[in-house]
A and B are shown apart, each in its own frame.
Chain A
């Protein structure tokens, strides 16, 4: 025996101060056993007997293990237990990897206990065998307990039909508890509506129910609600919590978690619930629809459960979460605890953990095409498939993925204690469409439709290009026909202002006069003066204005306006403004004057100087030269309208000495506005190149339909078993079509490159030339390939695999999908859904129960293992579990059973309760009353929409953006991911997508703020108020208050409540009158509604 004398000595001296206490007897059961239970049993108990030692009885400690007795009564130094709890390093118990050392006072207790003789009761029982743990034994349907006559009559009021009530009543009888009576009819109706469909009843529904005296009035309501489509939405959201539904998230547009279009899985959940698909069947589809129904797109949606675990950056994390949440959600087992070491409480070894992981090892995620869409960004079906059939699974040392034990690959398997016979894993051979989704007929249709759309687009582009060329080739409208296409300009006006030319000019405003061979405008005040040309210029023109600036203040602007018509114009002017002289192009197109920064150029304009300003316009391109020097190129951002030409001054006086207007010949090169540098290609040249490109694009698009058909035909032939005799021939055709299409595409690319080269300005010419040459080479290569097309072609995939990690290459991403699946997950699914499985049905029942009663039967909702808390009503749980299985796992059957029980119908109030019951069970552990439950976030919001009468019944489809707070759709359709939450919902404890086996029910001030201040809530309140008004007509405050109470809370106000409401209405009306509000009565009533929405019992399911 090794002993750490030194340590013990130190310990003893440390503890000497506590010596005074040492005389007290240590109580083994109360003081020692809890330490041993918490810190030692996991390795030295019923589950494991490490080192041959059990520590679960004092006798076992005395007996000891491989290193001798752990405890020797009265002998501290001989007791291995004491030396090991204080040992250094890895010798210490519990080992450092299992947590911290025992605390000094704990060690002191152990020591004193040993010193005092290590006494323990002689009848001490060892820890129970894990096999006997209640949840590891299959439930057997218990007898519904027989009740005494008193119970039947007094407690259940004769309603003994529901076994739930019998099981609960047994406990009351045992404890002398007396249950509360039924809830108020209105409150009960509200409860069952909110529980089953997630929105409150309408006034009509409530009134009808109140009036229905039939004995089965309530049952009829329950049946109707369970048949409603809204049931699937309400319970779908519950199961989305449990199954960790999340829309995709990442960083920006980069998908990192979950999958795009995962909402298909959400819709599958809702539809499955509405169809009352068996729970077992839902589990099977979620885990293995791809193996069980490989060609059923509707069922494949279910595998969203696994696709959601996708994590781009770390496959290990991805699979850890898969294992953890498969275990927790379906089995109520914390498998995850066995990742680094054997489970401390349950019979799950670390090997078992990795064997469980092996079920999932081969799976990956891909998106299959859906009818009508070829763009995977827009829609598609994310689903799983076994991708890497041979992917090995290793146990990781201490859970560390960088330390796999590679010499011992693990096969999929189950923890032996929970296995139900031999696990049969048979590889599944997949139908052709499963591994080659392109064979699905709609994929061919999708692609043909897409190709046709491209052809239509290309044709339209071609027409546009032709029209454009025609337009730029057309000569100036006013040019003589003989000049068409000529490079000569026609002079339209030539005036040196030596004398008046009344046929040419109209003086519109200002004082213009001719003097000394010049035309003067002498008013320099801050006004605009205009001289209009009587001749409308052609659309492409060149105009030159010569003038000397003589004064004015402060702008000193002189310029030319063109296209002047109906308040629209374009103005080019020189300004000698002292704050910054410049040349400026500005325009007015009906929305105020615009001075684009690109239309401005600083220019040294001075009074006393003479300027020649030339404006050349072609299409929307404007060039301005000053004194013969190119000064500005600007492209107008709008289509031009013909109009007049004017000369203007603004806060300027000037002497004009010349004006010339010419048509602008098509051959004249303008400077393009894009670069402002040296002249670009002429418009004609460019339009010709654009046209060439449009032609090539159309050619490339036109060959696509044939290619697509050829690929599809070849795919089909090849996939037949045995392959079609024509398979090779068809492949050769497809290959040829593909090469032809490649040539067409290469020609299109080359034409595009040539256009880019043509358009490039000097600094980019070289680069564009390089690209053009590359395109030339590519075309040559494509042509060469066409000479010997071979028989290789690209199949029509109809599917896209998600990258397996951020380092995956395109090549591996497009490798063919396997034609078989391992069958591992279907084997796992059949084990989980085996009727004999001890956990599955119990876990499901617990989930359903907690969402009706606000409290689970097994408090540790995802841990039914030995660390979990035992059920409060074990027999009831088992009865319900067996009932579920025997009723084909019908959840609607269970809901009906629950909501029609007396237990469910009781009031949640404790007024009038039996005092003894209140004292004995204040927390309602035994269901003598109903539990009030806080509405889930979605129910809060949906109820507001419902009461306001605006709830949109539309179901399913892509998620709504989280920012659309005002959307009338049900709240479960909002985008819901780790990164994106709908703000209002989040405040009311919306589900965490990482784990949400049960919602939190916090009560915080921001909830009060959201309900009282949000635009959403205020708007809904006003709408509810309006609806009440519309229904009530000319009602008094008293009537209004009473009706509002009923509508919102489904209960009539007490006289005290009624009085409070009326008083507030009166106060509010008075206040609003004083404030001068429009319609103070209406507004006061809106406020009343708003207050009732903030009532505790609005967001509470009573």
Chain B
């Protein structure tokens, strides 16, 4: 009860103070990026009672170490994937008001939407019910229904916890940002989940960036750290061992041995200088950053080089088929990254417009093709993690900004739908073979166990052993809804 008012009132204060002033408390001067690292090395000091950045350790025992965050750009129809609603076929072509479900049109319920783009052609209610474009089958021991477009993921259903009762409030693609950060676009810009985790948890492998992003992020969500600072932005990585990241290797020809001598000199000179400036935390941090950089530039290409993988593994991810290969390469890269201790791998699936899943028209062609692209690779990832014993410590999350309308847009599409959609999680600490929450009979409103997007964040934080309230920055007000509540019903 206590948080309910906050939840209905997400227009919170934009926090009055920035972290910049913390810099004058003796911490944070160097940016919070290396705060935890320096702290562990005993370089940084925090006076008693004075705010200090996180020390890089979980707040309580963790169930998982890493997160693979799969985000489908554009909005996946829950109705054609994980939330089977046969009533749509029964009432196909009827206006919702002619069906027993006219109650879904209660203006009070619809007022959930916070409109950014007034009078936009999209993001409207579509009232003529559109039949399901695909059949469903029961899979696994749990007998959970999954659409016929996702047979491989169906085969993994006993590892999935599907939350069918998600909702959000931005009825346009700003909901992409909202799904990542928890805040509506009109409230300003907030750090996203990966940035919080990067900020809160120390490194598992000092040779690799701890927050990596792959795929297309052309729409709204170009930054991650926001008020935590750019040090907590994801490092964009390409699945290309020859050129995995910007400035990842000399852009003009420099031999490795030559560069090593140069790096060694930088290190030497910085250390000589440190004698004169013994209390300069920035200097200490920069020495460390150069060491990391040199190692990172060597490690990353190795991680993204798949030559050591067996043919069987490559097939498992669909690398042998041009349709599944692009997604498969990202999934295999994700496994290799978490295997080496990267904390947070964020993958945005599908470029173009507002995202490839944005099926305002020709939904059948769009979703059948997109499902085909991702079904085998993602299932391959789950199977591979499992057989390597990595699934127990890795959280895989499948999300999207919103679902799609039960009604039809044009003759053969579905519009954005914020009132009910599906997300699934699998892996460390998750109870597989679970369905949690439900939408109404036509998949319109999340009815049972409603969850706002930050409940997914809270669940992940909880499994990583983080208390989001302990990560707060003084002067930055976060609402109850920003923290969310862990979805305990899907925890193992």
Binding site for B on A (CB under 8 A): 88-90, 92, 95-97, 99-101, 313-314, 317, 324, 334, 336-337, 339-340, 398-400, 805-807, 855-856, 859-863, 867-869, 908-911, 918, 922-923, 925, 932, 934, 978-979, 983, 986-987, 989, 992, 994-995, 997-998, 1000-1010, 1012-1015, 1018-1019, 1054, 1056-1057, 1060-1061, 1064, 1067-1068, 1071-1072, 1075, 1087-1088, 1090-1092, 1094-1097, 1100
Contact = CB atoms under 8 A, between A and B. Distances in A.
A910 B283 CA distance: 13
B33 A1003 contact: yes
A1087 B250 contact: no
13 contacts: A95-B5, A101-B2, A313-B116, A337-B13, A806-B117, A855-B23, A855-B24, A932-B277, A1009-B245, A1060-B269, A1075-B258, A1091-B263, A1091-B265
Contacts of A869: 21
Contacts of A336: 13-14, 16
Given A100-B3, A1068-B261, A1072-B258, 20 more contacts: A97-B5, A398-B9, A863-B16, A910-B279, A922-B45, A932-B280, A992-B226, A998-B21, A1004-B33, A1008-B289, A1009-B296, A1012-B293, A1013-B297, A1015-B252, A1054-B272, A1060-B269, A1061-B269, A1087-B261, A1095-B266, A1096-B282
Nearest to B235: A1006
A1060 B272 contact: yes
Contacts of A806: 117-120
Contacts of B268: 1060
Given A856-B24, A1018-B252, A1097-B273, A1008 B13 contact: no
Contacts of A1000: 20, 31, 229-231
Contacts of A324: 14
A364 B5 CA distance: 35
Most B CB contacts (10 A, CB to CB) among A90, A1005, A1019 go to A1005
A1002 B231 CA distance: 6
B186 interface: yes
A339 B186 CA distance: 14
Contacts of A1007: 289, 293
A1089 to B, nearest CB: 10
Nearest to A88: B1
A1013 B229 contact: no
Nearest to A321: B188
A1010 B20 contact: no
B440 interface: no
Contacts of B25: 859
B256 to A, nearest CB: 11
B286 interface: yes
B11 A100 contact: no
A1007 B268 CA distance: 18
Interface string B233-264: 00100000000011111111011011101111
A337 B16 contact: yes
Nearest to B294: A1008
B177 to A, nearest CB: 12
Given A334-B16, A1003-B282, A1007-B289, A989 B277 contact: no
A340 B5 CA distance: 14
Most B CB contacts (10 A, CB to CB) among A908, A1087, A1092 go to A1087
Contacts of A861: 18, 20-21
Contacts of B249: 1013
A1019 B252 CA distance: 8
Interface string B265-308: 11011101101111110110111011011101100000000000
A324 B188 CA distance: 12
Contacts of B475: 860, 867
Contacts of A1087: 254, 258, 261-262
A97 B116 contact: no
B17 interface: yes
A1091 B279 contact: no
Given A1001-B31, A1003-B282, A1068-B258, A400 B272 contact: no
A588 B113 CA distance: 62
Interface string B75-89: 000000000000000
A952 to B, nearest CB: 22
Given A92-B2, A340-B13, A1090-B262, A1075 B251 contact: no
A1071 B24 CA distance: 46
B282 A1001 contact: yes
Given A863-B16, A1060-B272, A1072-B258, A1005 B209 contact: yes
- SS class of chain A's interface: helix, strand, loop or mixed? loop
B30 A1002 contact: yes
A1006 B257 contact: no
A337 B11 CA distance: 12
Contacts of A1071: 255, 257-258, 261
Contacts of A1005: 209, 289-290, 292-293, 296
A321 to B, nearest CB: 9
B26 interface: yes
Contacts of B2: 92, 96, 100-101
Nearest to B19: A1000
Given A1002-B31, A1094-B266, A96 B3 contact: yes
A998 B276 contact: no
B222 interface: yes
Contacts of B235: 1006
Given A909-B276, A1094-B290, A1006 B247 contact: yes
A805 B11 contact: no
Given A337-B13, A859-B24, A1019-B252, A1009 B297 contact: yes
Nearest to A1007: B289
Contacts of B18: 861-862, 995, 997-998
B278 A863 contact: no
B4 interface: yes
B448 interface: no
Contacts of A1061: 265, 269
B320 interface: no
Nearest to A981: B222
Contacts of B148: none
A860 B21 contact: yes
A317 B117 CA distance: 12
Contacts of B342: none
A807 B480 contact: no
Contacts of B120: 806
A1091 B258 CA distance: 11
Contacts of B9: 97, 398
Nearest to B29: A1001
Contacts of A1060: 265, 268-269, 272
A1006 B294 CA distance: 10
Contacts of A90: 5
Interface string B159-201: 0000000000000000000000000001011000000000000
Nearest to B285: A1003
Given A96-B6, A859-B24, A1009 B248 contact: yes
A94 B251 CA distance: 58
A183 to B, nearest CB: 11
Contact of A1064 (B11, B245, B261): B261
Most A CB contacts (10 A, CB to CB) among B5, B21, B23, B32 go to B21
Nearest to A90: B5
B55 to A, nearest CB: 18
A1018 B158 CA distance: 53
A946 B93 CA distance: 69
Nearest to A989: B230
Nearest to B173: A251
B96 interface: no
Contacts of A1094: 262, 266, 290
B34 interface: yes
B340 to A, nearest CB: 16
Most A CB contacts (10 A, CB to CB) among B248, B263, B289 go to B289
A978 B223 CA distance: 9
A252 B279 CA distance: 48
